[in-house]
Amino acid sequence: MPSVRTAAIQPTKTYIIMIPIIAELTGNIASAFGLLGAAIGVGLIGQKAAEAVGRNPGASGKILVQAIIGMALAEGLGILALFLAK
What confidence tens digit (pLDDT) does each residue in 41-58 have? 999 999 999 999 999 999
Range name among 3-7, 26-30, 53-57, 75-79 with the lowest pLDDT average: 3-7
More confident residue, 57 or 20: 57
Cβ neighbour number for residue 57 with a 10 Å cutoff = 9
Average pLDDT of the residues of the chain:
87
Kindly list the domain boundaries of the chain, sorted by start residue. Answer: 33-84
Q: Determine the pLDDT at residue 82.
A: 87
Distance CA 26, CA 29 (A): 5
At residue 69, the pLDDT reads 96
| CB 64, CB 52: distance < 8 Å | no
- Asked whether 75 and 38 are in contact (CB, 8 A), the reply is yes
Question: What is the reported pLDDT for 4?
Answer: 59
36 CA to centre of own chain: 6
